[in-house]
Chain A
Amino acid sequence: MLIKLIKVGLAAGCLAALTTGCVEKSARISPSSAPLTPECSLPASKLASEAFREARKTLSNQECRYQFEPIFNSLLQISSGDPDPVNKDRFSDLVGWARNDGIISTVQAKEMFTRYFHHNYVSLPDDYQACAYCTQLNRIKADLRDELRQKELGLGKVAMDKAGITKARTDYKSIEIVLSATCRACGGSEI
């Protein structure tokens, strides 16, 4: 009986220790809940060139790698206050460096750069034929609108790429028209 009790007590203790361990571990890797530590702080400079240097230094720290997205967003804000066509190259170099360093994947690098600095819309689905997405047309249009806003910030404000943002706006309107017409046509015929 005594042996049985000891066994149960040991099992409960092990379970408690395991659970606590898990909680601590998940708290450590969750980027959303973790506050920025001083060494992982966002770039503070108002100058884009300096801010990019700060960002790389921070991201070189193994503990700060999960902060890539907030740092990327912070750089966008800083660069919009220091607009220059060269900013596009700075962001291209940054995502390339981050990808080579294993901070982000190739797909993430391409997705982040294109979303802000190219007229191509990454929010457009690329898996199935257009008719298959007609039930989600409103969501796709909302995603396109959001991405146009991101391009206005990246191409328009940060990189001052007039031709690029003009093409992004024109394409946005054209895609909306073609998607609307296509979904009307898909609904009107038997599919």
Chain B
Amino acid sequence: MGTGKGKRKTLKKMVVAGGLAISSIAFFPAWASSANAPTLKLFPQDVRHYLKETSDNAKQLEDNLRGLVSKFDNQVALYKSSHCQDVAGDDGCEEIKSQIEKDYRGILSVMAQGLPGIKSSINSASSGLEKQISKRIGRNMKPRDIQRQLGDKATPKVHGSLSKRFSAYHDLISRNGSSSLIVMASEIYLDTSSAKDWVELIEADIASQGVVLDVFKMYGEISPEMINTLNGVKSIVFGEDIIGSEDGLPDGSVQAAAAESPWVIQ
């Protein structure tokens, strides 16, 4: 009699344990299928939205600037080839000079109008990522856990203009291939931080361009400040568009675990 009671108790325990196991798998399918790859919520919806918005705002700025910058470059080339800086009072040179001044003012005005929107969306994306990285990596992982989270493939390196970079980030997150999410989030966060710095620098630059234009009007010399500002805008707003593998390193597939030494710290 006592033995039968014991058997029934054991059976009851097994049924409860089995039920719990099945419900765990049913409720947490991702966890059950890949215990070594926990899903990190590093890219919440608002971060994705702000990355897309940054890309759209930057694209708008690029489109508005492209024609003006090209016109400015042509006028500067003409001014230099005509040796206008050495001639005073020539009508043709005065005409080119006023055109250069007008185009430059136009560029500054487009930048001044476009930058606040870009700055706001970059700031929002950056602070959203900062919160997630600090919470999910900084306060949730030990440094050695970081390597445990890395995938087998290198994260694609994203270069190019602001709009292309942020659009590529948005695409990479949406595709979410085999690349490591923590590396991607870190790269995007560092890029948003440097883009923030760049926007602030350009804003400060624009604020000081009134003096630069006055000097140009008075002496007819295209100052290095004007050229530097333009070069900065061109390299960052238009940049080269390259999306490739990390520094050209081949993808290293790790040797099979079976061939590994027992003397490896995991």
A181 interface residue per 8 A CB criterion:
yes
CB–CB B134/A95 < 8 A: no
CB–CB A130/B141 < 8 A: yes
Q: How many residues of A contact B (CB 8 A)?
A: 53
- Alpha-carbon distance between A162 and B190 when the two chains are bound, in angstroms: 30
A27 interface residue per 8 A CB criterion:
no
List the one stretch of A13-21, A52-60, A165-173 in contact with chain B: A165-173
CB–CB B186/A120 < 8 A: no
A95-B263, A122-B265, A189-B131 known; A163 and B254 CB under 8 Å? yes
Q: Mark A169-191, 1 if CB is under 8 A from B, else 0.
A: 11101110111111111101101
A109 interface residue per 8 A CB criterion:
yes
A126-B142, A161-B255, A166-B250 known; A182 and B133 CB under 8 Å? yes
B143 interface residue per 8 A CB criterion:
yes
CB–CB B138/A129 < 8 A: yes
- Alpha-carbon distance between A152 and B246 when the two chains are bound, in angstroms: 19
Within the complex, what minimum Cβ distance (angstroms) separates B130 from chain A? 5
- Alpha-carbon distance between A173 and B251 when the two chains are bound, in angstroms: 14
Q: How many residues of B contact A (CB 8 A)?
A: 45
A31 interface residue per 8 A CB criterion:
no
- Alpha-carbon distance between A182 and B251 when the two chains are bound, in angstroms: 25
Q: Mark B150-165, 1 if CB is under 8 A from A, else 0.
A: 1010110000000000
- Alpha-carbon distance between A182 and B53 when the two chains are bound, in angstroms: 24
Q: Mark B123-153, 1 if CB is under 8 A from A, else 0.
A: 0000001110110011111111111001010
Taking CB atoms and an 8 Å cut-off, the chain B residues in 6-53 that contact chain A are none
- Alpha-carbon distance between A89 and B140 when the two chains are bound, in angstroms: 36
A117 interface residue per 8 A CB criterion:
yes
Q: Which residues of A contact B254 (CB under 8 A)?
A: 119, 163-164, 167
Which listed residue, A92, A162, A185, touches B189 by the CB 8 Å rule? A185
Tell me whether chain A's interface is mostly helix, strand or loop, or mixed.
helix
B3 interface residue per 8 A CB criterion:
no
Taking CB atoms and an 8 Å cut-off, the chain A residues in 100-129 that contact chain B are 109-114, 117-122, 124-129
CB–CB A88/B146 < 8 A: no
B2 interface residue per 8 A CB criterion:
no
A113-B261, A114-B264, A185-B189 known; A179 and B252 CB under 8 Å? no
A131 interface residue per 8 A CB criterion:
yes
CB–CB A180/B190 < 8 A: yes
- Alpha-carbon distance between A55 and B171 when the two chains are bound, in angstroms: 55
Within the complex, what minimum Cβ distance (angstroms) separates A176 from chain B? 9
CB–CB A130/B186 < 8 A: no
B262 interface residue per 8 A CB criterion:
yes
Q: Mark B237-266, 1 if CB is under 8 A from A, else 0.
A: 000000000110111111100001111111
CB–CB B252/A163 < 8 A: yes
CB–CB B264/A120 < 8 A: yes
A140 interface residue per 8 A CB criterion:
yes
Within the complex, what minimum Cβ distance (angstroms) separates B118 from chain A? 20
A72 interface residue per 8 A CB criterion:
no
Q: Which residues of A contact B264 (CB under 8 A)?
A: 110, 113-114, 117-118, 120
Q: Which residues of A contact B233 (CB under 8 A)?
A: none
- Alpha-carbon distance between A162 and B134 when the two chains are bound, in angstroms: 34
With both beta carbons as reference points, the residue of chain A lying nearest to B151 in the complex is identified as A174
A83 interface residue per 8 A CB criterion:
no
B183 interface residue per 8 A CB criterion:
yes
B182 interface residue per 8 A CB criterion:
yes
Within the complex, what minimum Cβ distance (angstroms) separates A120 from chain B? 6
Listed A/B pairs (5) with beta-carbon separation below 8 Å: A118-B264, A130-B145, A163-B254, A177-B186, A184-B130
Which of A's residues lie within 8 Å of B, judged by CB? 88-89, 92, 95-96, 109-114, 117-122, 124-131, 133, 140, 161-167, 169-171, 173-175, 177-186, 188-189, 191
Q: For the complex of A and B, list the 6 residue pairs with the smallest distance between their C-beta atoms, beginning with the closest.
A: A166-B252, A181-B186, A92-B261, A113-B263, A131-B138, A167-B252
